[in-house]
């Protein structure tokens, strides 16, 4: 291992960043898309009404709730264990598949009948909206859905269903139609989308000094592999990634850019992938895992680069 790699990897061991509020929904490669006219014929009328009412009450796009209902129980039509009685193997219950502990924390009497019934969609659907709201929705929609089942494939599945139900004229939840990461942000390029998609797929994997995947990463190993996944080669260590540029002024960074921290005589010693304004995915240090974090309040912020420009200008 070169001295430069040793220096960069060691720098990634330093101070873990506190976990901040994480990104709102980010498109991966292009948009999930929405129909010109949403296909709601798949949703039973009583469920549709409950999704819409709960969405309005909690400020969440109702197609997201419908996407969860579709993924979890086919809008209550599933005959799988736990949907109408008992639990499934994971202990989940009802049409929105709550665990007992989550239901105790977030279950409500949605129809004012004096009962808080996990098997009653009139209670389960607004309770799901309440849980999403507490988990950060609508601002951190991706993470809120992820907390529902702790899997990126699950978020993609829910959002795919949601996109089928939402129309481009609904005026609510339009983040599901656009390729934007947040209101007012600009669209993701194909490169940036794949960089973010790769970084998300590594969430939860352990930090390991000098590691480049697939089971573990250090900070610059993660960013290097993310750009390789997008078809673009960048240097191995953080300082060299910084020098390659091109630099982007603070405040103009976009999802898919690289954010650099921990200045040193040889260049920055830590790097992450920007996923939303003020938010990144990075591999922090030994004993930690690849995860979301805030970079906006860090005192050791160096700057940003946009490697995708070198690809997009070819």
pLDDT in tens, 48-75: 999 999 999 999 889 999 999 999 999 9
Q: Which residues of 138-177 are buried (b: 16+ CB within 10 A; e: fewer)?
A: bbbbbbbbbbbbeebebbbbbbebbbbbbbeebebbbbbb
pLDDT digits (tens, 9 = 90+) for 298-308: 999 999 999 98
From the number of C-beta atoms within 10 Å of its C-beta (0-12, 13-18, 19+), residue 266 rates as: middle
Confidence band, pLDDT 50/70/90 cuts, at residue 229: confident
- The pLDDT value recorded for residue 302 is 97
Please give the Cα distance from 142 to 301 (Å, whole number): 25
pLDDT digits (tens, 9 = 90+) for 287-296: 999 999 999 8
- DSSP sequence for 101-143: HHHHHH---TT-SS---TT-HHHHHHHHHHHHHHTTTTTTHHH
CB 88 within 8 A of CB 80: yes
- The pLDDT value recorded for residue 31 is 35
pLDDT at 166 over 90: no
Q: Span 225-254, mean pLDDT?
A: 93
CB 127 within 8 A of CB 106: yes
Average model confidence (pLDDT) for the chain? 81
Go through the domains of the chain in sequence order and give each one's CATH number. Answer: 3-22+185-312 (3.90.1720.10), 45-176 (1.10.530.10)
Of residues 173 and 261, the one with the higher pLDDT is: 261
61 CB contacts (<8 Å, ≥6 apart)?
Answer: 55, 138, 162, 166, 170, 172, 173, 175, 176
Confidence band, pLDDT 50/70/90 cuts, at residue 137: confident
- The pLDDT value recorded for residue 160 is 78
- The pLDDT value recorded for residue 265 is 95
Q: What percent of the chain has pLDDT over 90?
A: 57
pLDDT at 175 over 50: no
Taking the mean position of all CA atoms in its chain, how far away is CA 133?
15
User: Of the given ranges (150-159, 171-180, 262-271), which has the lowest mean pLDDT?
Assistant: 171-180
Count the neighbouring beta carbons within 10 Å of the beta carbon of residue 106: 18
- The pLDDT value recorded for residue 241 is 97
- The pLDDT value recorded for residue 167 is 54
Confidence band, pLDDT 50/70/90 cuts, at residue 20: very low
Count the neighbouring beta carbons within 10 Å of the beta carbon of residue 282: 30
- The pLDDT value recorded for residue 311 is 54
* pTM of the predicted protein model: 0.52
User: Of the given ranges (23-27, 74-78, 162-166), which has the lowest mean pLDDT?
Assistant: 23-27
- The pLDDT value recorded for residue 13 is 40
Please give the Cα distance from 212 to 202 (Å, whole number): 11
Please give the Cα distance from 82 to 147 (Å, whole number): 20
150 CB contacts (<8 Å, ≥6 apart)?
Answer: none
- The pLDDT value recorded for residue 172 is 41
């Amino acid at each position: 291992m070169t001295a430069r790699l040793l220096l960069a990897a060691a720098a990634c061991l330093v101070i873990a960043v506190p976990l901040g509020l994480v990104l709102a929904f980010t498109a991966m490669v292009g948009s999930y898309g929405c129909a010109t006219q949403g296909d709601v014929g798949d949703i039973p009328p009583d469920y549709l009404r409950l999704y819409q009412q709960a969405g309005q009450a909690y400020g969440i796009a109702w197609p997201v709730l419908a996407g969860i209902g579709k993924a979890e129980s086919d809008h209550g039509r599933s005959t799988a264990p736990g949907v109408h009685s008992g639990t499934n193997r994971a202990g989940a219950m009802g049409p929105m598949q709550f665990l007992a502990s989550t239901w105790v924390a977030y279950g409500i009497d949605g129809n004012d009948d004096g009962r808080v019934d996990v098997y009653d969609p009139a209670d389960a659907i607004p309770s799901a909206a309440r849980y999403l709201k507490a988990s950060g929705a609508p601002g951190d929609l991706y993470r809120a859905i992820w907390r529902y089942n702790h899997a990126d494939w699950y978020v993609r599945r829910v959002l795919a269903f949601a996109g089928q139900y939402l129309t481009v004229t609904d005026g609510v939840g339009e983040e599901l139609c656009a390729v934007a990461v947040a209101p007012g942000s600009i669209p993701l390029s194909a490169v940036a989308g794949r960089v973010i998609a790769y970084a998300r797929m590594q969430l939860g994997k352990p930090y390991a000094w000098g590691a480049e995947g697939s089971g573990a990463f250090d900070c610059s190993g993660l960013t290097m592999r993310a750009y390789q996944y997008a078809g673009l080669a960048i240097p191995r260590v953080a300082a060299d990634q910084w020098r390659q540029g091109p630099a982007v002024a603070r405040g103009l960074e976009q999802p898919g850019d690289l954010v650099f921290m921990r200045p040193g005589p040889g260049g920055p010693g830590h790097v992450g992938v920007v996923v939303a304004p003020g938010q990144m995915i990075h591999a922090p240090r030994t004993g930690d895992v690849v995860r979301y974090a805030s970079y906006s309040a860090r005192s050791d912020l160096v700057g940003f680069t946009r490697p995708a420009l070198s690809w997009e200008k070819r």
